[in-house]
Structure 1
Amino acid sequence: MLPHLFGFFLGEEWHGTFRWNPDDGQVKITHVVIRLYGALILGQSFLTWAAKQTDDGRVRLAAVRAYAVVFGLTTLALLRAQLTDSTWHVLNWLNLLLFACLAAFYGWFSLVQPPAVFEGLGKVTS
């Protein structure tokens, strides 16, 4: 909804307002891509909320693995862009680090945790 805030990590200059939308076609395309990615993450949050309410451990594990893959691929895409384009802003390394940490967390959780962790509390036996 506010791609200008995310655009800061892409090296866009701040013009003091959230409504600024230049005539530069490339910036408008960037803002559309940011909005689409935000819509995807918002949609995923609904799926995650639904998975939280189920006792099926396989569904929960699949959601965690999906996030590990999504954030891992996002990290690789950002890393490639950072290393191959001279126009990327230095602050983009923070964005890249955030996605790398998310990928590492979800990857560790899906690979290291025992299957019982993904079961609901009603299925756990002492």
Structure 2
Amino acid sequence: MEQFEEFIQEIEPAEHRARMVEVLQWVHETYPQLKPEFKWNQPMFTDHGTFIIGFSVSKAHISVAPEGYIDEEFSARIKELGYTHGKKLIRIPFAKPVQYELLQEIIDFNMKDKADCTTFWRK
């Protein structure tokens, strides 16, 4: 995942950098068919040219951007896990563990939902 290296090296403190590496590595190892890409100043993963999931960092959390459908499909689950979310992103605080089952549910949903998608974003 060398395309993320410059982005990763800029994350401070080191504990936050390590958490982001852990998350990106998990996606890469769990979904080797997804293509890691760096666009719009954030690491993301695509499948057959369509966006599946992206990540960014702030001072207090990792933002997970799965492209919409969060409220409809995952809102209750996100709240159950103690995370907050907006219309198009989920906040995983650095102070809380990463719930990889949730990430897997979201990625699986997007891959299935966008299996026949021919554009980068949903229409």
Q: TM-score range by the shorter chain?
A: under 0.3
Return the index of the structure with the highest Cα Rg: 1
Q: Higher helix share goes to which structure?
A: 1
TM-score (norm 1): 0.27
